[in-house]
């Protein structure tokens, strides 16, 4: 089991930022409005995520480290299927297999908290803890027992940079939650959690005037979705026999595209500031990044790119998040419909404001 755990860990956790992503998503799942990420030495010495979510009941704290019963990985043969089955329910288990983890948590309905310590997958300590409602997961000495993985890590500043990008992206996706990042004892980023996306945009992109970014929505960003392409579906469905084969009913599954994109006056020299989220999870999707760039066709000088944060909301059955164990890549049942929805929403937003 220890070997399997380490293999699983290697797939889920390639670098500290992957572990950070899992911990942040757990905090979001727990309804936290304050999420604080602290790192030392790029997250290798320490990666700690503190949240004010609902916490874990004392009698379930140890279970959080167990591989879920639904795990598909039972035999060595199954290892070849890792990439397709994914790792839901295995994040803490995998992280704990390759580090020292201290979980301190108090559930909102309980009078006291509990602490569990795990080293290399083994529970080495447990007990009561004085703790506010919420959860603290401290990951220390990541990859201490995986020398091969250690070699692939970049220098601390590079790993810290990946974590900073991650925290900022999640802050963009959740303007109503306060994210903080403390690197080697210094507060290097904080969103204010007041719900105003333009505040976060200004902070993340270092903009003096966040109004150079425009909403994909005609309104103020809080009203209904910018583009709901359900009405285009019958036409698109004809071109997409694959959707039916996969058991999806496109007509019942609108695609919503919202977000923020820059006016043509605000550009960068590369595409790294075009962030795509699917159902509020950050994903790497070159195709959708390309859809955004295409929306600026003829509007930008050669070699210049917009800044954009794009949220695609799609029925869960139309998106496969398990293509990649780290869940940063997704596959859509109706790739082209989603591509054109993103392109259209972005184009409309630019033209509306450029007029």
Per CB under 6 A, residues contacting ligand ADP are: 22, 26-27, 30, 51, 53, 55-56, 64, 88-93, 135
Could you count the other beta carbons within 10 Å of the beta carbon of residue 208?
A: 7
Interface stretch with Mg ion, choices 90-98, 114-122, 202-210, 321-329 (CB under 5 A): 90-98
The one of ligand ADP, Mg ion, none whose footprint includes residue 275, by CB under 5 to 8 A per kind, is: none
Q: Does 138 bind Mg ion (CB under 5 A)?
A: no
Rounded to a whole number of angstroms, the minimum distance from the CB of residue 95 to Mg ion is 10
- Stretch in the footprint of Mg ion (CB under 5 A) among 85-93, 216-224, 234-242, 312-320: 85-93
- Smallest separation (angstroms) from ligand ADP to the CB of 323: 16
Please list, in sequence order, all residues whose beta carbon lies within 8 angstroms of the beta carbon of residue 147, skipping any fewer than 6 positions away. none
Check residue 26 for interaction with Mg ion (CB under 5 A). Answer: yes
Query: What residue 30 binds from ligand ADP, Mg ion, none (CB within 5 to 8 A, per partner kind)?
Result: ligand ADP
Cβ 25 to Mg ion shortest distance, Å: 5
Least Å distance, CB 49 to ligand ADP, is 7
Residue with tokens 């998040």: 321
Is residue 48 classed as helix, strand or coil in its secondary structure? strand
Phi/psi region, residue 141 (left: phi>0; alpha: psi -120 to 50; beta: rest), is left
Q: Smaller CB distance to Mg ion: residue 91 or 233?
A: 91
Q: Which helix (H) or strand (E) holds 258?
A: strand 256-262
Which stretches of 232-303 are DSSP H helices? 233-239, 241-245, 286-295
- CB count in 10 Å sphere of residue 181: 23
Output 61 or 236, the one with its CB closest to ligand ADP: 61
> What six digits make up the tokens of 224?
């209904």
Give the binding range for Mg ion (CB under 5 A) out of 23-31, 211-219, 244-252, 294-302. Answer: 23-31
**Phi/psi of residue 51, nearest 5 degrees:** -135, 165
CB 221 within 8 A of CB 308: no
Residue 96 binding: pick among ligand ADP, Mg ion, none (C-beta 5-8 Å cut-off by kind): none
Q: Which of 64, 160 has the CB closer to ligand ADP?
A: 64
Binding window for Mg ion (CB under 5 A); candidates: 35-43, 86-94, 129-137, 272-280? 86-94
Q: Which is nearer to Mg ion, 26 or 343 (CB)?
A: 26
Q: Which of ligand ADP, Mg ion, none does residue 53 bind to, with CB < 5 to 8 Å depending on kind? A: ligand ADP
List, as one string, the DSSP characters of 160-215: HHHHHHHHHHHHHH-TTSEEEEEETTEEEEE---SS-HHHHHHHHHT-S-GGGEEE
Q: How many chain residues bind Mg ion (CB under 5 A)?
A: 2
Nearer to Mg ion, 90 or 275 (CB): 90
Q: How far is the CB of 67 from Mg ion (least distance, A)?
A: 12
| CB-based contact 86:73 (threshold 8 Å) | no
Question: What is the closest distance, in whole angstroms, from the C-beta atom of residue 217 to ligand ADP in the complex?
Answer: 31
Least Å distance, CB 189 to ligand ADP, is 20
Pick 57 or 225: Cβ nearer ligand ADP: 57
Residue 135 interaction partner, one of ligand ADP, Mg ion, none, beta carbon < 5-8 Å per kind:
ligand ADP
20, 23, 46, 91: residue in contact with Mg ion (rule CB under 5 A): 91
Which residues contact residue 330 at a Cβ distance below 8 angstroms, ignoring those fewer than 6 apart? 278, 283, 285, 319, 320, 321, 323
Distance CA 21, CA 123 (A): 23
User: E strands along 274-324, which residues?
Assistant: 274-278, 281-283, 308-313, 319-320
CB 113 within 8 A of CB 128: yes
H or E element in which residue 104 lies: strand 100-106
CB of 38 or CB of 334, closer to ligand ADP: 38
- Nearest-approach distance from CB 241 to Mg ion, in angstroms: 35
Binding site for Mg ion (CB under 5 A): 26, 91
């Amino acid at each position: 089991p220890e070997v399997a755990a380490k293999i699983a860990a290697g797939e889920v956790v390639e670098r500290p930022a992957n572990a950070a992503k899992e911990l942040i998503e757990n905090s979001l799942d727990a309804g936290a409005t304050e999420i604080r990420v602290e790192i030392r030495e790029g997250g290798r010495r320490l990666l700690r995520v503190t949240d004010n979510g609902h916490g874990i009941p004392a009698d379930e704290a140890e279970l959080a480290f167990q591989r879920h019963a639904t795990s598909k990985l039972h035999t060595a043969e199954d290892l070849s299927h890792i990439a397709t089955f994914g790792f839901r329910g295995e994040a803490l288990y995998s992280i704990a297999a390759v580090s020292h983890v201290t979980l301190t948590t108090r559930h909102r309905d309980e009078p006291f908290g509990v602490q569990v310590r795990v080293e290399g997958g083994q529970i080495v300590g447990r007990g009561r803890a004085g703790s506010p409602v919420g959860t603290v997961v401290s990951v220390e000495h990541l990859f201490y027992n995986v020398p091969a993985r250690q070699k692939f890590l970049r220098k601390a500043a590079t790993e810290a940079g990946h974590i900073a990008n991650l925290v900022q992206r999640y802050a963009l996706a959740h303007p109503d939650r306060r994210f903080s990042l403390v690197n080697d004892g210094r507060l290097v980023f904080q969103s204010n959690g007041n719900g105003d996306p333009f505040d976060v945009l200004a902070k993340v992109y270092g903009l003096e005037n966040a109004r150079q970014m425009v909403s994909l929505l005609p309104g103020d960003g809080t009203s209904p979705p910018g583009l709901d392409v359900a009405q285009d579906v019958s036409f698109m469905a004809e071109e997409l026999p694959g959707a039916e084969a996969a058991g999806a009913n496109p007509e019942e599954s609108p695609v919503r595209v919202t977000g923020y994109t820059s006016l043509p006056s605000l550009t960068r020299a590369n595409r790294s500031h075009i962030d795509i989220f699917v159902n509020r999870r950050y994903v790497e999707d070159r195709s959708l990044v390309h859809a955004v760039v295409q929306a600026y066709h003829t509007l930008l000088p050669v070699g210049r790119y917009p800044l954009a944060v794009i949220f695609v909301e799609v029925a869960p059955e139309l998106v496969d998040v398990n293509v990649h164990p780290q869940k940063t890549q997704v596959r859509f049942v109706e790739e082209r419909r989603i591509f054109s929805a993103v392109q259209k929403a972005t184009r409309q937003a630019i033209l509306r404001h450029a007029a």
